[in-house]
A and B are shown apart, each in its own frame.
Chain A
């Protein structure tokens, strides 16, 4: 029962390097709708949802990096870009020293089996027409075309055992399983190819409380037994506090703060992180005691100038309204993107 947060025996180094990553989704409109009259001239204006705006992030070998933020902050988009499900608009992704975001499908293949993904919705992430056995065999067969049936069967059995799904259920279809069991099957599918890096996109948020604990434990066990590296996307800060080695807080597609978990929860620096942490409903508090934010989240179509958070921040001044803050290091291994913290205005 060794802890994750304390795990430091792994060879350090960056497994994944994300540099200057941006992802904009064009709002699909017809050509005529893009035309606008401006100052007597006809101009073509294309709008996009700016889901990620210049994110630099490293995932260290052997850690569980949690990416947190509220809905629409771009955390899931980061996960999908890293996995190659979406093409980045700008920026690069390096995996183990090799840039992977511009590789062809064929040259990406060796990396496919080293990185896997676990999805949020256990009801949509398994193909309803495939049995558990078929779903689990597929990645293995695909990446090892010569594999024998006996070996494959043993592997399915092993992995099903290790995620706590009775191997005798291998002929069943997903609809015969509960949500928690489906999520175990999803995890099993990811583990079939023995990956080293797993991106988990809100893997427990669709599950019931007692099942959340089971799945989290399973993920922690798998991490320990298989030397996995996680990138864990979630909105649930209490899970982050428990699970993460480091935490990256996102707001409107950019990073606010990046810090070791304990440091972040003990001394949050960024005003947004502070509000976020204070809003976690804790059992030992009798009344809600959270830091109030002013205003509302701006739309990612028209991003505010300067610091994206300035219209909701009580510390915002003129500099915040004009100049976008960069991540800068503060003591305790934290990196914060806030002029106020840098200038000492925010304690």
Chain B
């Protein structure tokens, strides 16, 4: 059985113009120790999905449908107290901006020890030992000194390491990383990604990596979920998605990368833009940009078809499957 299973998740935001559906029928699962990538452009709903899992959707948004089964119980139905025992303990989150996690007026040690004592019932001495140990694990040089520093005394890359160390403190079974390296430079991004990958492999933590960067996904994850306009359009093993994407959107996204074209030539662009949630076209939401769009795409929301290890929501793919 999967460690975390999201089934038919729907999130809505009441707005002036009426309710916006930010997530529609989102399902995916995460096994123990598995690394799952969630890819999409801004506004595709990938961050909303992450926040929804921890029941952290900011008001007035709410989960209107679906289940989030974690270790056998439904997070969507839990009360605040039950959620607290999971959030920050069994499931941890890493944000794009380390300062969303770190309090600027407390030393990193204070924050780590506080976190440990809240969740693990430890003495201050033990907690400090463990905090130093975790800092060492994320390869922070001389952790005994660093632990008494304030976040502003550290560089951006170091801060993100500290955030990872905090996320690992309670030995969680899932880490959700929302664009963890987007704000960092390439060389530091590579280091952080390598670190995250090694930590997940060594301690058997499941990783949900939310990013727009297909390069990062291909290096770190085993399976990938591609989202478009609040819906999962394709899911499959990462390597196969990169090499042989089924959905025209995924295909276009990968083909648009500069490294997929000879230097100096025009890039393969997808025309148009992703629709805003307020104006999602009927039928398949990708059809106005799709070169394979058929009549049925304009009127009917495509169901998921299984194709090898893939799950694809596309009439065109389904249609091709039926052809002998």
Residues of chain A contacted by B213 (CB below 8 angstroms): 281
Q: Does A280 contact B (CB under 8 A)?
A: yes
Q: Does A262 contact B (CB under 8 A)?
A: yes
Q: Does B105 contact A (CB under 8 A)?
A: no
Inter-chain CA distance A220–B263, complex, in Å, is 12
Question: Is there contact, CB below 8 Å, between B212 and A209?
Answer: yes
Which of A20-28, A145-153, A236-244 lines the interface with chain B? A236-244
Could you tell me the distance in whole angstroms from the C-beta of A263 to the nearest C-beta in chain B? Answer: 12
Q: Does A1 contact B (CB under 8 A)?
A: yes
Q: Does A212 contact B (CB under 8 A)?
A: yes
Q: Does B190 contact A (CB under 8 A)?
A: yes
Interface residues in A31-60 by Cβ distance below 8 A to B read: none
Could you tell me the distance in whole angstroms from the C-beta of B37 to the nearest C-beta in chain A? Answer: 12
Which of A87-95, A99-107, A283-291 lines the interface with chain B? A283-291
Residues of chain B contacted by A313 (CB below 8 angstroms): none
Q: Does B41 contact A (CB under 8 A)?
A: yes
Residues of chain B contacted by A237 (CB below 8 angstroms): 186
Partner pick for A210 among B215, B218, B242, B256, CB 8 A cutoff: B256
Residues of chain B contacted by A296 (CB below 8 angstroms): 155, 157-158
Q: Does B259 contact A (CB under 8 A)?
A: yes
Residues of chain A contacted by B215 (CB below 8 angstroms): 238, 280-283
Which of B157, B262, B265, B268 gathers most chain A CB within 10 Å? B265
Given the interface pairs A217-B269, A279-B189, the reply to whether A209 lies near B214 with Cβ below 8 Å is yes
**What is the total number of residues of chain A having a CB less than 8 Å from a CB of chain B?**
48
Q: Does B120 contact A (CB under 8 A)?
A: no
Inter-chain CA distance A196–B260, complex, in Å, is 30
* CB 8 Å contact bits of B235-265 with A (1 = contact, 0 = none): 0000100100000000011101111111111
Residues of chain B contacted by A235 (CB below 8 angstroms): 185-186
Partner pick for A281 among B190, B265, B267, B269, CB 8 A cutoff: B190
Question: Is there contact, CB below 8 Å, between A280 and B186?
Answer: yes
Residues of chain B contacted by A239 (CB below 8 angstroms): 258
Question: Is there contact, CB below 8 Å, between B258 and A281?
Answer: no
Q: Does B59 contact A (CB under 8 A)?
A: no
* CB 8 Å contact bits of A64-95 with B (1 = contact, 0 = none): 00000011000000000000000000000000
Which of A3-11, A321-329, A330-338 lines the interface with chain B? A3-11
Residues of chain B contacted by A180 (CB below 8 angstroms): 273
Inter-chain CA distance A292–B197, complex, in Å, is 16
Partner pick for A5 among B191, B242, B264, B269, CB 8 A cutoff: B264
Given the interface pairs A208-B212, A281-B215, the reply to whether A292 lies near B273 with Cβ below 8 Å is no
Which of A210, A235, A238, A296 gathers most chain B CB within 10 Å? A210
Question: Is there contact, CB below 8 Å, between B268 and A213?
Answer: yes
**What is the total number of residues of chain B having a CB less than 8 Å from a CB of chain A?**
45
Given the interface pairs A217-B267, A281-B213, A286-B239, the reply to whether A3 lies near B187 with Cβ below 8 Å is no
Residue in chain B with minimal CB distance to A72: B185
Partner pick for A283 among B190, B214, B267, B271, CB 8 A cutoff: B214
Question: Is there contact, CB below 8 Å, between A297 and B155?
Answer: yes
Could you tell me the distance in whole angstroms from the C-beta of B110 to the nearest C-beta in chain A? Answer: 23
Inter-chain CA distance A143–B116, complex, in Å, is 65
Question: Is there contact, CB below 8 Å, between B259 and A282?
Answer: yes
Residues of chain B contacted by A70 (CB below 8 angstroms): 185-187
Q: Does B321 contact A (CB under 8 A)?
A: no
Q: Does A214 contact B (CB under 8 A)?
A: yes
Residues of chain A contacted by B268 (CB below 8 angstroms): 213
Inter-chain CA distance A178–B263, complex, in Å, is 28
Residues of chain B contacted by A15 (CB below 8 angstroms): none
Question: Is there contact, CB below 8 Å, between B218 and A285?
Answer: yes
Residues of chain A contacted by B253 (CB below 8 angstroms): 209-210
Could you tell me the distance in whole angstroms from the C-beta of A222 to the nearest C-beta in chain B? Answer: 12
Inter-chain CA distance A213–B42, complex, in Å, is 15
Q: Does B126 contact A (CB under 8 A)?
A: no
Could you tell me the distance in whole angstroms from the C-beta of B83 to the nearest C-beta in chain A? Answer: 32
Question: Is there contact, CB below 8 Å, between A208 and B42?
Answer: yes
Inter-chain CA distance A292–B242, complex, in Å, is 26
Residues of chain B contacted by A262 (CB below 8 angstroms): 263
Question: Is there contact, CB below 8 Å, between A238 and B258?
Answer: yes
Q: Does B266 contact A (CB under 8 A)?
A: yes
Residues of chain B contacted by A213 (CB below 8 angstroms): 256-258, 267-270
Inter-chain CA distance A297–B273, complex, in Å, is 38
Q: Does B219 contact A (CB under 8 A)?
A: yes
Inter-chain CA distance A208–B216, complex, in Å, is 15
Residues of chain A whose beta carbon lies under 8 Å from any beta carbon of chain B: 1, 3-6, 70-71, 178, 180-181, 208-214, 216-217, 220-221, 235, 237-239, 241-243, 261-262, 275-276, 278-288, 290, 292-293, 296-297
Residues of chain B whose beta carbon lies under 8 Å from any beta carbon of chain A: 41-42, 155, 157-158, 185-187, 189-191, 193-194, 197, 212-216, 218-220, 239, 242, 252-254, 256-271, 273-274
Between-chain CB contacts (< 8 Å), 6 pairs = A208-B41, A213-B256, A217-B269, A238-B258, A283-B257, A288-B219
**In the A-B complex, the 4 residue pairs with the closest CB atoms:** A3-B264, A281-B215, A242-B258, A213-B256
